Amino acid sequence: MDCWSAENATNAFLKTLKMGERGKAPDVTEFISAMAAGNNAQLMVMACSGHPGSALLGLVAAAHQTGGRVICILRRQQDMHAAKKALLGDYANFVEFVIGEDVKTLLKVKRLLVVRGATGLLRLMNAAGKNMFIGSVLLLLDTRI
């Protein structure tokens, strides 16, 4: 399905609100979730140079809504352990973690969402742009900027 789904977007947005901090106003996390789910994303890849932050929760909520997958590419094993413990908790089982720069994973991505500049962004964008898959979102974060 390659069309906008307002129902998926709304449900993912609300689920992300429930997963996050109580009493917190909606922010970019909920927006990311709604955009990914509304586009019926089946593969959501998040590549970051440090801790992934709450945006990963938004992708988990979107994947739950669409039946898709979430892959988080991190540079270090320590970042994975920190994300699993501090951020994800029970939701860690819904994320496939990859350590290092896995360009093969990026080749399956159709839509590219850049939240902040990333080191090696041009190479990553070139890899992501050569694919033919539908229903994927790549989220790039670089905590060093």
Residue 129 has pLDDT above 70, yes or no: no
Which CATH code for domain 6-19+26-141? 3.40.50.150
Q: Given pLDDT bands bounded at 50, 70 and 90, which one contains residue 111?
A: low
Span 66-83, pLDDT tens digits: 998 888 888 788 888 888
pLDDT at position 116, please?
Answer: 47
Q: What is the mean pLDDT of the chain?
A: 71
Q: Specify the range with the lowest mean pLDDT, choosing from 18-22, 25-29, 33-37, 115-119.
A: 115-119
Residue 22 has pLDDT above 80, yes or no: no
Helix axes 55-66, 28-38, angle to 10 degrees: 30
Centroid of chain to Cα 111: 12
Q: How many CB atoms lie within 10 A of CB 75?
A: 15
Q: Are 140 and 118 in contact (CB under 8 A)?
A: yes
State pTM to two decimals: 0.69
10 DSSP assignment: H
Please, what is the Cα angle at 26 between 24 and 30, to 5 degrees?
125
Q: Given pLDDT bands bounded at 50, 70 and 90, which one contains residue 136?
A: low
Q: Specify the range with the lowest mean pLDDT, choosing from 2-11, 21-30, 99-108.
A: 99-108
Alpha-carbon gap, residue 132 to 79, rounded angstroms: 31
Q: Which residues of 27-48 are buried (b: 16+ CB within 10 A; e: fewer)?
A: eebbebbbbbbbbbbbbbbbbb
CA distances from 29 to 18, 63, 90 (A): 12, 14, 18
